[in-house]
Structure 1
């Protein structure tokens, strides 16, 4: 059901009116698209790969979690000691990469965002790994067999029970699987479809170059030569990124790993309320927040509204973490943009319904995350290249 796309089409019609701007930029600057330049986004020095090295080091934290669980399973350490070791491990996952990105000068902003993104995903995965294994120990102590949740897909692999899941193979399957919530037995597909895999790979390559091409051709000259960032088609780039990541890339990884649960997003484009959008545009993160953050707060007696605001605070923190640290500047655009969703959600739920609510959600998307990202890009350019731009103007 794509009824919500109609509201987006209105904005596309408005973008068509900017056609003369595109033709003007093409006439003035020529074709600026350079596929080879993508490599320089990750590598400032071809002999120094700090982001890649940082990701390789993450294996230390993965192994620390696995061997902590093994000791807990056999009872050589207490639950309290295990909780302490996890606090140290998860705290290091949060602090170590951010400190490295801030200290290492050869780390590019794109490389820093990528490395911190990997560590953020790892943090959420290992937290889920900790919780699920703890639940299994509690069930085992109650002398009950752990239940297994099965989603779509055929169970063609052997059934695993605790503590038989505490293996290197099981751990790394979970680390690479397109999910943040750990299970002892994931739903699995019976085979790898080579045609499906090839289509997703081609989509990934094409859409990646399309995003970079739009940035090179339209965003860079606009930011360099004016203070009118709202004329940039960053919303279109955001939509392309969504399809590239949540549909092409995650389905590619899932098919390669025979991972059966392919529900990475739902019909967020039909959202008539802001909470519906946030609950359906990123299903892996939504499931993690429900399972390991929101519902545990409710069980502790926290009311729904404070728990929902706490979820937004957590999300806002990680949005700011992933953007501000790699750029080495703290503007809080991402944090403020996320927290602005709270009063917006209350307003839409109270005063707008149906198609009007959907239009309000689309407007929040158009002037929300993409503009916040562009503000960071704009400020970064002013800080690092402002002198060059002023010299040219003079």
Structure 2
């Protein structure tokens, strides 16, 4: 309470925080009207700038409680922690699609069971052409290593070695394709898996040849200028004792031309060869178990009825029904694509890297934030992007090609391999995958030219959600017409 004789304090705007009680000064004032003579309620004081002691001896009261600031959901606020909203979206997505999945299961029954999945790979248990083809890939690996050893020893000229390497690489692509087209017992799923393995071997041996060629050139330069030239590359860390200590050991050219070094590269989750890869000090068992738990098989139960029901609109060229089927197929197809991305690029590749103690785990970047088509293709598959950049894009620039021509060539090469992995296993030459990849070139130009920020990101997502179902329906329709409709 103010002492007798003191002037009444000026009125203060209500709403500020209550000041704490200061020992020995009496109770804090209570909020109310102007004080009555001799006691009663006291109004908080309005202090001048800089503040002044409260009449009861307590701390100063803040002058303001407002400042210029944006709402959290405004982009200008700089707020970026939307984890709770993301979890809500995931929960709503699961709940909304669980009903559709159960409705599909009740209406059509089990369409994809484990026995059918196994039969897709092993149609005849006594004839496994896919497995035999995969084992035969070791022949091309041994030939590549033998050629590099001859080149390192100087018993084979660079021109002859380049020609033999080219023949070996072409055989890697042509041999399995010819077997798939000729052998009738091989299944489309087994053929896709086999051709994917051969494509990976092709890219790896291409990189193996280039890197060893660069090492020879460096060695020749070192010998010419008297600087040594062991072709030394970045070292890798070898696991040490049980206490986690690590040591460093480096392999120099041509000591890297061994079966152990080459096969480590073939099984490593990368397409770019190095003499010495970064290595992790140990295998993390908990991390490995989590990734193994995530490597669960997902079902195509949801997509089968939609694809089957899409055949009649395609035959009748009913465009409205075709669009309806396309939009209906887009959601499950996109979810399966997202699941496949996480299953392969995060779970599978991390399992392989952990077992092999491979240190570089950057298998993808934040492609979901892509504001341009080019950024998406550069970041959703880092192993392929690094290979294209190292062995295709930069060599073309060194030969005098423009950036636009080099980017176009990369897209066309990617279109070729997409078509190779679809048309050959299905045994029908169709341009849909090639056209879909080639269409990324004008789409990338349009998005980068006219769309920015969230609009560009939305355009990328639309191309992913709508573009893939179109290709799926095209190939399924043509395969159905060629293999089933004629027989019926």
Structure 1 CA distance for aligned equivalents of residues 176 and 445 of structure 2: 36
Q: Is it true that 1:221 corresponds to 2:305 in the alignment?
A: yes
Report how many residues are paired: 382
**1:65 partnered with 2:144:** yes
8 Å CA contact 2:147–2:161 kept in 1: the answer is yes
Whether the 8 Å contact between 2:121 and 2:189 is mirrored in structure 1 is yes
Choose which of 214, 232, 238 in structure 2 pairs with 1:135. 214
- Identify which of structures 1 and 2 has the higher relative contact order when contacts are C-alpha pairs closer than 8 Å and 6+ apart: 1
C-alpha contact 1:5 1:269 (8 A) present in aligned 2? no
Match of 2:133 in 1: 54
Stretch moving more, 195-204 or 32-41 = 32-41
Alignment match of 2:278 (pick from 170, 187, 190): 187
Equivalent of residue 253 in structure 2, options 155, 159, 162: 162
The answer (yes or no) to whether the contact 2:238–2:249 under 8 Å persists in 1 is: no
Q: 1:333 aligns with which of 398, 411, 432?
A: 432
For residues 334 and 170 of structure 1, the distance between their equivalents in structure 2, rounded to whole angstroms, comes to 36
Using the alignment, how far apart are the partners of 1:266 and 1:170 within structure 2? 28
DSSP-derived class of the 1:105 partner? coil
2:337 to 238, 242, 246: 238
Distance 2:412 2:89 in 1: 32
Kept in 1: contact 2:236–2:276 (CA 8 A): no
Query: CA shift at 1:19, angstroms?
Result: 7.4
Q: Tell me the distance in 1 between the aligned counterparts of 2:199 and 2:189.
A: 15
Q: Could you say if the C-alpha distance between residues 192 and 157 of structure 1 is closer, same or farther in structure 2, counting changes exceeding 3 Å?
A: farther
Q: Aligned-pair distance for 1:2?
A: 9.0
Unmatched tracts of structure 1, length 5 or more: none
What TM-score comes out, normalization by structure 1 length?
0.90
CA distance in 1 between counterparts of 2:394 and 2:215 reads 18
Q: Establish whether residue 94 from structure 1 lines up as the match of residue 173 from structure 2.
A: yes
Summarize the Cα distance change of 1:344–1:30 in structure 2 as closer, same or farther, 3 Å threshold.
same
Q: 1:221 to 1:178 in 2, by over 3 A?
A: same
Which structure's residues are more often helix, by fraction?
Answer: 1
Over 3 Å counting, the alpha-carbon distance change for 1:325 and 1:310 in structure 2 is same
Equivalent-residue separation in structure 2 for 1:80 and 1:62 (angstroms) = 20
Q: Using structure 2 for the length normalisation, give the TM-score.
A: 0.73
Which position in structure 1 is the counterpart of 2:361? 262
| Aligned: 1:308 with 2:399 | no
For 1:114 and 1:266, the matched residues in 2 are separated by 25
SS at match of 1:221: helix
Q: Which has the larger radius of gyration?
A: 2
Question: What is the rounded CA distance, in whole Å, between the counterparts of 1:332 and 1:47 in structure 2?
Answer: 34
Alpha carbons of structure 1 residues 198 and 12: separation in structure 2 relative to 1, 3 Å? closer
- SS state at 1:191 partner: coil
Provide, for residues 113-171 of structure 1, a one-character-per-residue CA deviation record: whole Å limited to 9, x for no partner: 01100011111100100000000011111123435246999874521000000000001
Structure 2 unaligned blocks of 5 or more: 1-79, 223-228, 240-245, 312-324
